[in-house]
Amino acid sequence: MMLIRVQAERFDAGALLNKMSGADSDCGAVASFSGQVRGGNGLTALELEHYPGVTEKALTRIATHACKRWDLRQAVILHRIGRMEVGEEIVFIGATAPHRRAALEAVSFMIDTLKTQAPFWKKEFDAQGERWVETRAEDDRAAARWLQEEEDMSA
């Protein structure tokens, strides 16, 4: 089962996790990642823009890829758009599987590839004004590492 959603509304990561936990009796592992707006450095809020339609396709492709590579029962990607205050949730990634390694690796794969493959853009707000967030080189490296592993496996 795959759940892909892009929404402006806040969500409850705990409730999502509880729902995933009870769904399949043959699952020994439930793994998740929750991203939230990081304070500090004077940041007051974030604004998330995306490319409607294309974003959902990209997220579906990422979750489908994860389901093919690992033995999963569920893959969940939920991402918010619009304005968010410090401490608010941005993204939830979840996976359930019979065994822990598949669930943990799939979650890691989905958040790493989301950062470089899904058309979202973040703008930061602070007392000085506003600025678009630039992609970090380490994000590119994290996503590239998964693809490199696949090339190595098929070689």
Binding mask 109-148 for another protein (x = CB under 8 A): --x--xxxxxxxxxx--------xxxx-------------
Which two tokens mark 69? Answer: 């590579």
**Contact pick of 1, 23, 54, 86 for another protein (by CB under 8 A):** 54
**Contact pick of 76, 78, 91, 106 for another protein (by CB under 8 A):** 91
Backbone phi, then psi, for 2, in 5-degree steps? -120, 140
Type of residue numbered 23: A
Task: Identify which of 22, 123, 26 has the alpha carbon closest to the alpha carbon of residue 82.
Answer: 123
- For 50, 63, 106, 145, 148, the CA distances from 152, given in Å and listed in that order, are 33, 21, 18, 10, 6
Closer residue to another protein (CB): 73 or 115 = 115
Give yes or no for residue 60 binding another protein (CB under 8 A): no
Give yes or no for residue 65 binding another protein (CB under 8 A): no
**Contact pick of 53, 100, 145, 147 for another protein (by CB under 8 A):** 53
Judge contact between 85 and 43, C-beta under 8 A. no
How far apart are alpha carbons 96 and 77 in whole angstroms? 12
How far apart are alpha carbons 95 and 107 in whole angstroms? 6
Residue 23: CB minimum distance to another protein, A: 25
Closer residue to another protein (CB): 57 or 99 = 57
Residue 105: CB minimum distance to another protein, A: 17
Q: Which residues bind another protein (CB under 8 A)?
A: 35, 48-51, 53-54, 57, 79, 90-91, 111, 114-123, 132-135
